[in-house]
Structures are given as structure tokens and as C-alpha cells.
């Protein structure tokens, strides 16, 4: 079946929404954070560990799975769920972000038909079209597929962005025309960079195509925070209230709160596992860097009061030992904690929305998070 979003409550003091997302694998509350399993795995974590952390929907990457092991292998294994043993919803991105980062000559390599680029694995020449991206995702059999969009760099001129938006709209229509998996929902992606008129235009034209959900693209690509928040504001008001809204590639705790306040429902990002592999952890008082010698004899958990496996079983001193000796368990334990931290954050956000106190929650969270952030470095 297609996913179904139900709006249950809107915060009285902001655009924040509490709702549910009905999927083939159950119904999940929103706002939610989705861990990223780029190559059909959230780096170093098992499905059981993700479930224990409270994960609902997880994300995998079309580009990487196309190259290795290939969509045909995944299809022969019974689809992505059976391949990675994940008994929950999966969203696959289109591969567009990776492809455009690999296209060296933007004017030459990005054509109306598709994108020419070289494999990051062996340098072989590849060509990806909107139709091919959707066909790959059909075979992967994810619950949610993403349209193939052009991902412009930041910043670009208004003229460049206008042409890019128009191409993305044409590509969205082409992809939608070949989408043929009845159990898979298809999301449209809105672009427009920092330009208010183009964000509005992109949203209105994408909505006309009647996708199952809508993604806000082109953020978190190098712009400052204020610009990113404006990008969300410029377009989200034109998205339908009965469809889910997805902010792509955003995983900073404050950015998640700010996105929810503006009406976003779901988020994804590699940030929690990436910073974990570098010895960093999210806490209510800012990020902790375990390379810091002050944690060498600290017997307290990564965060007091956290209910994750790491905090219930290990001390800061032990985690620091693992990180500074390059033991892989260190990154695993911090990944578990960081993912649980963001999922717990969205759980608290949902309660704040239901009680119409999200703006107060934001102020309390930021005051504690930012005031102590520098002390933890």
C-alpha cells in the first residue's frame, strides 16, 4: 500500500505538526528522525540495535546500491527489506546528490536527458536518468522512493537556479511516468535555492503532479543557518497539509527543532554516525569530544538520564579508551547513543507539540545546549 499521512494536531503557536505515517510495516508518529543506511546498513549497527534505539523509517542510497551490489541482486534477494533484514519502512533517495557531486563539468555533464559522471569506485563512465533512478528504486522495493532532481551547488545565480528548477520539474514528471511499484510511494522534491520566487514556483508546480509526499531539497549544502531556515519558510506554506513533508540531509538537533517549528515532519542525516566515528557524542549540554583528556577517568555515562544501551552500560572513561585506541566498538557505542539522542529528541518534540509548548521547549533546549557546548570540547 501507499503511505498515508494523518495530521492529528497542529501547535497553536507555530507551524509544527504532530501526526502519523501509516506504512506497510506499521504506523509511526511524526515528527521523526530517520537513520541513514547508505549501503543497506546504518554503519556498524545491527537491525536489532536500531530497533532498540526507537528507529522507525530508515534511509538507503540508490546510487550506492546501484553500483554495489546492483538492484538485480537486491531484487533476487527479495527486495531491500529481506536483503538487509529490516522489518520496517525504508526510504531510498534518488542518488541525485551523489551523482551531481561526481559530475565535474556541470554545464557539459548535466544534460536534459540525464547526468554523465564517473564512478567513485573505479572511475568508469556512468549515465543516470530520471527514469533509471525510479526503475532502480522500483526494484529495490523501498516503501518510499524519491524523484531524481538536480542538486545545484550553493551559491548560484538566479538564472542558473531557475533553469535548474525547471529541469527538476521536467525530470519529476518523467520519473513519475515510469514509476510502477504499487506498494511504493513516490515523493517529489522542491528546489529553488535561496530565492523566494523560485521556491514558491517549485512548490506549486511540484504539488500539481500530486506526489505521495514532498521533500525540501537544496538545504544544508553550505549556506548559513538563517538562509536555510528562510529556504524552508519560502516554500513549505505551499505544500499540502495532508501530505508528509521531508527535510533532506538535516540532523543537527537545533536544526531539527527549527524545521519542525516551520512545519517539517521527517528528517534524515548521516551526522549522528559520522561524528560518532570521530569520537563525538550529542548531549543536552552540547557535543562531547572523547579525544579530550578530561574524560580519561570520568566514570559517569555519556549522558546522565539517557536510556540508550551505551549509557546504561558504559562510562565516559571506557568510551574514551575505545576512541583513543581506535577500537571499532567506540564508534559503535557512540553511534547507538547519537541515534537514540535524535530519536528521543523527536519524541520530546512530539509531546511539546501536543501540549502547544514547542516554542518554550526550543528556548529551553537551546539555552542548555549552546551555553555548555564550548565547555564540552
The DSSP secondary structure of 98-115, one letter per residue, reads HHHHH-SSHHHHB-SS-E
Q: Does residue 179 share a domain with residue 66?
A: yes
- 3-state percent breakdown (helix, strand, coil) of the chain, nearest 5: 45, 20, 40
Which of 336, 265, 261, 281 has its CA nearest to residue 54?
Answer: 336
Q: Does residue 230 share a domain with residue 162?
A: yes
Choosing from 11, 143, 255, 268, the catalytic residue is 268
d(CA 323, CA 315): 13
Q: Does residue 299 share a domain with residue 228?
A: no
- Final residue of a structural domain among 206, 236, 269: 269
Q: How many residues does the chain have?
A: 377
Domain enclosing residue 40, as ranges: 4-269
d(CA 183, CA 142): 9
Asked about 93 being catalytic, the answer comes back as yes
Q: How does strand 185-190 pair with strand 26-30?
A: unpaired
Which of 365, 343, 271 has its CA nearest to residue 57?
Answer: 343
- Final residue of a structural domain among 248, 269, 290: 269
Cell, residue 36? 541513514
Q: Does residue 280 share a domain with residue 147?
A: no
Q: Does residue 13 share a domain with residue 152?
A: yes
- Final residue of a structural domain among 269, 284, 304: 269
Residue 278, number of CB atoms within 10 A of its CB: 12
Q: Does residue 96 share a domain with residue 230?
A: yes
Phi/psi at 199 (5° precision): -60, -45
Cell, residue 121? 569506485
Q: Which pLDDT does position 98 carry in this prediction? A: 87
Q: Which pLDDT does position 376 carry in this prediction? A: 63
d(CA 209, CA 188): 8
Asked about 268 being catalytic, the answer comes back as yes
Q: Does residue 96 share a domain with residue 233?
A: yes
Q: Does residue 51 share a domain with residue 68?
A: yes
Q: Does residue 208 share a domain with residue 299?
A: no
Choosing from 93, 143, 212, 252, the catalytic residue is 93
* DSSP helix/strand/coil, 332: helix
Q: What is the mean pLDDT of each run of 10 residues along the chain (377 residues)?
A: 97 98 97 98 98 98 97 98 98 90 84 94 96 98 97 93 97 98 98 98 98 96 95 97 97 98 98 98 98 98 98 98 98 98 98 98 97 64
For residues 260 and 31, the answer to whether their CB atoms sit within 8 Å is yes
Q: Does residue 253 share a domain with residue 143?
A: yes
Domain count, the chain: 2
Residue 155, number of CB atoms within 10 A of its CB: 13
- CATH code assigned at 112: 3.20.20.105
For residues 18 and 8, the answer to whether their CB atoms sit within 8 Å is yes
Q: Does residue 328 share a domain with residue 221?
A: no
Provide CB contacts within 8 A for 112, sequence distance 6+: 167, 170
Q: Which pLDDT does position 377 carry in this prediction? A: 55
* DSSP helix/strand/coil, 116: strand
Q: Report how far apart, in Å, the C-alpha atoms of 44 and of each of 38, 82, 121, 226 are.
A: 12, 18, 21, 34
Q: Does residue 336 share a domain with residue 205?
A: no
Amino acid at each position: 500500500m501507499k503511505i498515508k499521512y494523518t495530521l492529528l494536531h497542529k501547535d497553536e503557536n507555530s507551524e509544527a505538526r504532530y501526526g502519523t505515517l501509516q506504512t506497510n510495516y506499521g504506523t509511526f508518529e511524526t515528527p521523526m528522525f530517520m537513520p541513514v543506511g547508505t549501503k543497506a546498513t546504518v554503519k556498524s549497527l545491527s537491525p536489532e540495535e536500531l530497533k532498540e534505539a526507537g528507529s522507525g523509517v530508515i534511509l538507503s542510497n540508490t546510487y550506492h546500491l546501484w553500483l554495489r551490489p546492483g538492484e538485480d541482486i537486491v531484487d533476487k534477494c527479495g527486495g531491500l527489506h529481506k536483503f538487509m533484514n529490516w522489518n520496517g519502512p525504508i526510504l531510498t533517495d534518488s542518488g541525485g546528490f551523489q551523482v551531481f557531486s561526481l559530475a565535474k563539468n556541470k554545464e557539459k555533464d548535466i544534460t536534459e536527458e540525464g547526468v554523465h559522471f564517473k564512478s567513485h569506485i573505479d572511475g568508469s563512465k556512468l549515465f543516470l536518468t530520471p527514469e533509471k533512478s525510479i526503475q532502480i528504486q522500483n526494484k529495490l522495493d523501498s516503501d518510499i522512493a524519491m524523484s531524481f532532481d538536480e542538486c545545484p551547488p550553493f551559491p548560484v545565480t538566479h538564472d542558473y537556479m531557475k533553469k535548474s528548477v525547471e529541469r527538476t520539474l521536467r525530470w519529476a514528471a518523467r520519473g513519475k511516468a515510469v514509476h510502477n511499484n504499487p506498494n511504493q510511494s513516490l515523493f517529489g522534491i522542491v528546489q529553488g535555492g535561496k530565492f523566494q520566487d523560485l521556491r514558491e514556483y517549485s512548490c506549486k508546480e511540484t504539488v500539481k503532479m500530486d506526489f505521495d509526499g514532498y521533500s525540501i531539497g537544496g538545504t544544508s549544502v553550505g549556506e548559513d543557518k538563517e538562509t536555510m531556515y528562510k529556504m524552508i519558510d519560502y516554500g513549505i506554506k505551499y505544500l499540502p497539509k495532508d501530505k508528509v513533508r521531508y527535510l533532506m540531509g538535516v540532523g543537527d538537533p537545533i536544526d531539527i527543532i527549527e524545521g519542525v517549528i516551520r512545519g517539517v515532519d521527517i528528517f534524515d542525516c548521516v551526522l549522528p554516525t559520522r561524528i560518532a566515528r570521530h569520537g563525538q557524542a550529542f548531549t543536552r549540554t552540547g557535543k562531547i569530544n572523547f579525544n579530550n583528556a578530561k574524560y580519561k577517568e570520568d566514570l559517569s555515562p555519556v549522558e546522565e538520564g539517557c536510556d540508550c544501551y551505551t549509557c546504561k552500560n558504559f562510562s565516559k572513561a571506557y568510551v574514551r579508551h575505545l576512541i583513543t585506541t581506535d577500537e571499532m566498538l567506540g564508534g559503535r557505542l557512540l553511534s547507538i547513543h547519537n541515534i537514540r539522542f535524535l530519536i528521543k529528541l523527536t519524541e520530546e518534540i512530539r509531546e511539546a507539540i501536543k501540549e502547544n509548548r514547542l516554542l518554550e521547549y526550543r528556548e529551553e533546549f537551546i539555552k542548555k545546549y549552546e551555553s555548555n557546548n564550548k565547555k564540552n570540547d
